[in-house]
């Protein structure tokens, strides 16, 4: 069913994009003249081509006057060792400091003259370099991205200059307690494995990483079969494929001595890490269990389960009328300033959890009701819960694709994770297939009577003992 819907959607999408159909135009202007189902059928097709060296090209043509094009690489902090942890993040900083053909000033002038925006990011499993520009400047954008990736100067002077920048950024991240808390959660949940590494790396590595370390990292991981050239907006797939052949056909697909890097399994450890500081005004706490991998069939029921728990912020209106039971309790009982359910999925594992910020007097209560919400997912999910969560999840999936850059990012990550772009129509079909029993069964598999990982920062004297939190992961039922 989902596959047939996708094929129809692809045909209709191409027709609408070429004809500049009033249906598509009215949808873009936010007028409610088409139904949700019609908008899914009208979504443009994502086309995929693979070059001889293994590099994949994926694009979605929408007919916009602008486009986003970028390279997504299957490479992040998980591929680093303790010695070179932070190399990927350091390279992200070095990316725009000049190439062998264009020094930094000339590169910046090129980007500025196009009115473009050039950016990059690094995560635990992915690295991305991308540019948003006018559609007519697509050839220039691809040429610049090719230079940045393949001809980076990596001069010793620039490396030394960037050390202080990276160290300054590390200091700034220490001030973002949410990032600190979630990094600590990974460090304890995946302790002793590469997934426990921080994306930014330790400050010691930022001081000692050499040019040779960066060159070795590029040679080991920047290989064509691990790259996706993705584009969205006013692009034609044939033109993009031609540009890829011109600029990226020389990217290597061979490893020295056939030393292909293989991801080692990252075991999950039920554990805790506490950083108590009573001078802080609020406590930042995260609790998580091992979740599903990105390609697991359990991913959609878990997404629905997280939508049932929802999120909350003290600035929300609604109070006791909020749809999430945990949000209603948080508002009525002043349990926390904010909370959010999250699921970080990786190629072979994941983290399913709840992160909340509260004052030092409500930590115990908030932890109790958070774990109670998990137990309810395992035992008492109803049809009305599923209906509400399905609507919220669909709105979230559609709403986050609100421009060429998020669409391009979605394409790049999907091709790396799944080998294809999963259309919205297929997501819709998979969400509609979720039943209360399915959510109860999947949540029991991942949550019920499992050892959690906990991280906490701030005035956390009231945080329960780990054994007590572990005992709240099941109910005594007769």
Please identify every residue annotated as catalytic: 92
Residue linked to tokens 């599903």? 292
The secondary structure of residue 196, as a DSSP letter, is G
Cα dihedral value 389, 390, 391, 392, nearest 10:
50
Q: How many Cβ atoms sit within 10 Å of the Cβ of residue 327?
A: 24
Q: How far is 376 from 355, CA to CA, in rounded Å?
A: 18
How far the first Cα of the chain sits from its last, in Å, is 41
Q: Which two tokens stand for residue 253?
A: 């697909």
Cβ–Cβ under 8 Å, residues 122 and 76 = yes
How far are the Cα atoms of 225, 229, 472 from residue 249, in angstroms, in the given order? 11, 12, 55
The secondary structure of residue 108, as a DSSP letter, is H
The sheet carrying 127-134 orders its strands as 46-50, 56-61, 227-233, 66-73, 127-134, 117-122
Q: How far is 449 from 270, CA to CA, in rounded Å?
A: 11
CB proximity list for 200: less than 8 A, separation 6 or greater: 86, 89, 166, 169, 170, 173
């Amino acid at each position: 069913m989902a596959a047939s819907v996708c094929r129809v959607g692809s045909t209709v999408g191409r027709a609408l994009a070429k004809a500049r159909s009033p249906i598509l135009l009215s949808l873009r202007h936010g007028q409610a003249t088409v139904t949700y189902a019609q908008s899914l059928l009208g979504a443009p097709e994502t086309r995929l081509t693979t070059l001889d060296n293994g590099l994949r090209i994926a694009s979605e043509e929408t007919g916009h006057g602008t486009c986003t094009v970028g390279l997504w690489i299957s490479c992040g902090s998980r591929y680093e060792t303790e010695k070179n942890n932070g190399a990927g993040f350091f390279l992200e900083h070095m990316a725009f400091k000049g190439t062998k053909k264009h020094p930094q000033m000339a590169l910046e002038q090129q980007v500025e003259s196009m009115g473009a925006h050039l950016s990059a990011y690094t995560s635990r499993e992915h690295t991305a370099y991308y540019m948003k520009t006018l559609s007519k400047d697509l050839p220039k954008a691809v040429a610049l991205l090719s230079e940045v990736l393949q001809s980076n100067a990596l001069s010793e002077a620039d490396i030394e200059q960037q050390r202080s920048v990276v160290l300054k950024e590390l200091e700034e991240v220490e001030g973002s307690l949410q990032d600190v808390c979630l990094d600590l959660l990974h460090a304890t949940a995946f302790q002793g494995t590469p997934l426990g590494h921080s994306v930014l790396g330790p400050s010691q590595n930022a001081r000692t990483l050499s040019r040779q370390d960066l060159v070795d990292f590029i040679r080991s991981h920047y290989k064509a079969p691990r790259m996706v050239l993705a584009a969205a907006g006013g692009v034609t797939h044939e033109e993009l494929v031609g540009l890829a052949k011109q600029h990226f056909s020389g990217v290597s697909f061979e490893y020295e001595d056939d030393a292909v890097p293989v991801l080692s399994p990252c075991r999950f450890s039920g554990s805790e890490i506490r950083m108590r500081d009573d001078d802080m005004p609020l406590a930042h706490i995260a609790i998580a269990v091992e979740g599903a991998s990105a390609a697991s069939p359990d991913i959609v029921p878990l997404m629905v389960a997280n939508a049932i728990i929802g999120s909350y912020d003290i600035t929300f209106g609604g109070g006791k009328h909020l749809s999430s039971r945990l949000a209603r309790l948080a508002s009525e009982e002043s349990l926390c300033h904010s909370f959010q359910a999250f699921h970080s999925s990786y190629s072979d594992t994941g983290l399913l959890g709840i992160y909340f910020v509260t004052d030092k007097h409500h930590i115990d209560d908030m932890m109790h009701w958070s774990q109670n919400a998990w137990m309810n997912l395992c035992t008492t999910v109803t049809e009305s819960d599923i209906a509400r969560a399905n609507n919220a999840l669909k709105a979230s999936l559609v709403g986050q694709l609100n421009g060429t850059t998020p669409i391009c990012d979605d394409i790049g990550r999907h091709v790396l994770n799944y080998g294809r772009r999963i259309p919205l129509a297929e997501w819709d079909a998979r969400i509609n297939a979720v039943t209360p029993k399915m959510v109860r069964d999947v949540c029991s598999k991942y949550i019920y009577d499992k050892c959690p990982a906990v991280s906490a920062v701030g005035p956390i004297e009231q945080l329960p003992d780990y054994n007590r939190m572990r005992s709240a992961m099941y109910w005594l039922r007769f």
